[in-house]
């Protein structure tokens, strides 16, 4: 295993992190539980192979992930870094809820402290209204002083440009967890900014949540060299970015643990030249797509909550990279739950704000309809 500097935290983190959101589960009469034996085996194997970062969250695996992780890492707790996340949705109504969630997580993890405690999946509004407005940042600093958490972290789901606001306004964020993979590089600039500001950066979805790898044959097409399986390219690409400390993978099987550990421990990581070549080739391929949305997010927020960049990104997966099945499935998930994800173009009131702000001068409304027709077919 290779280890990297984790921003200014003083920690050395393994290049591969274990995302504990897809642990093996069993369901009996509508009640879910985690298969503890398999979890012990997988996390134990990961530790033996050098993985030292284990990331859970309050709601993972039907609320059972933290307890299962706590049990599995018990024999080597002091040798690893444990990460978990505080829910930031409607369930967090007042300042004291932060401490309540933290104490529950500590109890479930069966530990006196958590190494990295995240404000979970925040956006600009949650940051302004809750973290700053409600005084949660002060709560986090107090918990740190008391030794309950060692580092203050956040994970992020919003328009990319808000990352700068969060890092600069809070001033005490130590690590950041963001989506980053070969096909979704929209956070690249802000990842570099975070690294420059001394934050450690963990990439989630390095191989697209375990489902999405680069299309077969892509590596050869891009580099002219015979390769490596597509997931291997995807993981090596993420780790080739010097601003990423750790690629977090939601591993589900022992085989996945071993394969990912081998790739992450590869003595010949993607070098700078190869990385730049692939990044450029991906951009070139994308430019040949008829719809060139850079994912900049300037068209957001839409007053009707239409997630334009996301819908266009799915179309790029479909149209440019040939990930038809993945794109259709993701679109169906988006459409099935507007409250959680956002609306489609039928909610558009033609205010024109998005098109005015788009640097690519895209005819957004027209394109949205086309994209939805193709993905929904």
Binding site for ligand SF4 (CB under 6 A): 293-299, 302-304, 306, 308-309, 312, 348-354, 357-358, 360, 362, 364
* Residue 371 CB, nearest approach to ligand SF4 (Å): 11
Smaller CB separation from ligand SF4, 250 or 309 = 309
Smaller CB separation from ligand SF4, 238 or 299 = 299
* Residue 305 CB, nearest approach to ligand SF4 (Å): 8
CA distance between the termini of the chain: 44
* Residue 311 CB, nearest approach to ligand SF4 (Å): 9
Q: Pairing mode, if any, of strands 16-19 and 12-14? A: unpaired
Smaller CB separation from ligand SF4, 198 or 352 = 352
* Residue 356 CB, nearest approach to ligand SF4 (Å): 9
Smaller CB separation from ligand SF4, 74 or 356 = 356
CA distance 55 to 305: 30
Smaller CB separation from ligand SF4, 254 or 291 = 291
* Residue 352 CB, nearest approach to ligand SF4 (Å): 5
Smaller CB separation from ligand SF4, 216 or 351 = 351
* Residue 347 CB, nearest approach to ligand SF4 (Å): 7
Quote the strand ranges of 126-245, DSSP E.
149-156, 175-179, 200-204
Q: Which whole-number Å values give the CA distances from 266 to 3, 12, 48, 192, 285, in the listed order?
A: 12, 17, 16, 23, 28
Angle at 216 between CA 210 and CA 217, to 5 degrees: 140
Omega cis (within 30) before 213: no
Judge contact between 348 and 365, C-beta under 8 A.
yes
């Amino acid at each position: 295993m290779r280890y990297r500097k984790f921003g200014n935290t003083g920690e050395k983190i393994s290049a591969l992190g274990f995302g504990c959101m897809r642990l093996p589960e069993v369901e009996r009469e509508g009640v879910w539980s985690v298969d503890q034996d398999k979890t012990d085996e997988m996390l134990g194997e990961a530790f033996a192979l050098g993985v030292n970062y284990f990331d859970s969250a309050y709601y993972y695996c039907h609320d059972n992930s933290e307890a299962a992780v706590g049990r599995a890492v018990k024999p080597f707790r002091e040798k690893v870094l444990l990460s978990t996340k505080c829910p930031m949705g409607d369930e967090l109504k007042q300042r004291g809820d932060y401490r309540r969630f933290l104490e529950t997580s500590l109890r479930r993890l069966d530990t006196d402290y958590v190494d990295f405690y995240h404000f979970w999946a925040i956006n600009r509004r949650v940051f302004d209204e809750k973290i700053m407005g409600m005084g949660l940042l002060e709560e986090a600093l107090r918990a740190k002083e008391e030794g309950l958490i060692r580092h203050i972290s956040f994970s992020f789901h919003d328009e990319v440009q808000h990352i700068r606001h969060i890092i600069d306004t809070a001033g005490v964020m130590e690590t950041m967890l963001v989506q980053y993979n070969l096909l979704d590089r929209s956070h690249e600039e802000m990842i570099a900014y975070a690294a420059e500001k001394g934050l450690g950066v963990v990439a989630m979805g390095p191989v697209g949540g375990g489902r999405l790898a680069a299309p077969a044959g892509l590596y050869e097409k891009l580099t002219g060299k015979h390769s490596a399986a597509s997931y291997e390219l995807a993981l090596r690409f993420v780790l080739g970015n010097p601003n990423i400390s750790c690629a977090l993978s939601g591993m589900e099987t022992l085989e996945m643990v071993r394969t990912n550990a081998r790739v992450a421990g590869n003595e010949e990581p993607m070098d700078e030249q190869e990385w730049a070549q692939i990044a450029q080739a991906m951009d070139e391929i994308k430019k040949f797509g008829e719809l060139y949305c850079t994912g900049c997010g300037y068209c957001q927020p839409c007053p009707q909550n239409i997630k334009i960049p996301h819908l266009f990104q799915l179309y790029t997966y479909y149209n440019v990279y040939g990930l038809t099945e993945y794109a259709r499935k993701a679109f169906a998930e988006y459409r099935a739950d507007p409250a959680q994800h956002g609306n489609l173009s039928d909610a558009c009131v033609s205010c024109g704000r998005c098109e005015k702000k788009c640097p690519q001068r895209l005819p957004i409304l027209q394109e949205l309809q086309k994209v939805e027709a193709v993905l929904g077919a």
